[in-house]
Structure 1
Amino acid sequence: MSPEPASVRVLQRIELCDTDVTGHYHHSTVIRWVESAEQTLLHRIGLDHLPVMPRVNYTAGYRRRLWRHEIVQTRLRVEAVGRTSLRYLFDVTTGGDPSVEGELTVVKVDTETGATRPFDEQERKLLLESGEQEGDFLGRGPAGPAGRDPNTTPLARPSGDHWGIGYG
């Protein structure tokens, strides 16, 4: 069996600051989730010493709305490692249903000069062969009403108005 590229899954709750006036998540929230997953992945495979790599391409296809208090899982996977660039594929799901799919390309640069720097063989190996890593997950707290864990159970979606815009 051949080695798999590095990947990670991270759970997060959609907070009020992640939403817009319609009550569902704002499109800019996704890049924060992806960058958080990236930092977790680099830490897990021992590459958190790399400088923050400038983003040179970001695309996202939005499939369904996500609402405040929902729990989302962001999955990030190394797709390709070039000489100086790294391309990730990502998806955001809730309840197993895809909500967002996309890709992010970053470039490794020298922090002092800003010039591109090639990935060395060890970095390339870790990125391309580390497989799935343990993610950062919401912690388990005391069980709430009816045994529900308030840290991992999404709250009910607000009913909204007749246009389907949620409040809360």
Structure 2
Amino acid sequence: MGRDQGSERGPGASIERVVEWADTDASGHHHNSAIVRWVEAAEAELVRQLGLQDYFPVAPRVQQILNFRGKLWFGQRVVATVWVDRVGTSSLTLGFEVISQPHGRSAGGLAADGTVTTVHVPGGAEGSAPWPEAMRNAFAGVLR
């Protein structure tokens, strides 16, 4: 889907997926790990849009907050969107939401939301360090 220019939240990146059989669990609705994978795919889209090929090897997650708001079912279409919530000296907090389309047992709507926080840890380093200026500027340029 690409850049989410029309959202009231401002710039971000979105990906569209269909809930596959492998995304469900024994209860018949989505497994919690599916949300994490879709959010990571949207994060990767944002990073590609910003031209930050070196982001993932130096940005481990330090916190993830995930609020489950609704069930998702096999065959249902979802859109996962991420945006930059905060850029710190060495940290980055992304906000996200997963919205579903109406399908079978579900009226659709907000399925999940939350935040993911990463820190910049340069290769070979034991701890965090300030973001390189180019990365910090790229993230700050799409801050909501």
TM-score class, shorter: 0.7 to 0.9
Q: How does 1:84-99 map to 2 (within 5 A)?
A: 84-95=90-101, 97-99=109-111
Higher relative contact order (CA 8 A, sep 6+): 1
Paired residues, what number? 129
Find the aligned partners of 1:8 and 1:43 in 2 and give their Cα distance: 10
Match of 1:161? none
Change in 2 beyond 3 A, CA 1:106/1:32: same
Q: How does 1:1-168 map to 2 (within 5 A)?
A: 6-52=11-57, 53-95=59-101, 97-130=109-142
Runs ≥4 residues deviating over 6 A: none
Q: Taking structure 2 as the reference length, what is the TM-score of the superposition?
A: 0.81
Structure 1: state its 5+ residue gaps: 133-168
- Say which structure is richer in strand: 2
Find the aligned partners of 1:29 and 1:115 in 2 and give their Cα distance: 29
Change in 2 beyond 3 A, CA 1:131/1:58: closer
- Say which structure is richer in helix: 2
Partner amino acid, structure 1, of 2:15: V
RMSD: 2.0
The percentage of aligned residue pairs carrying the same residue is 30
Partner amino acid, structure 2, of 1:129: G
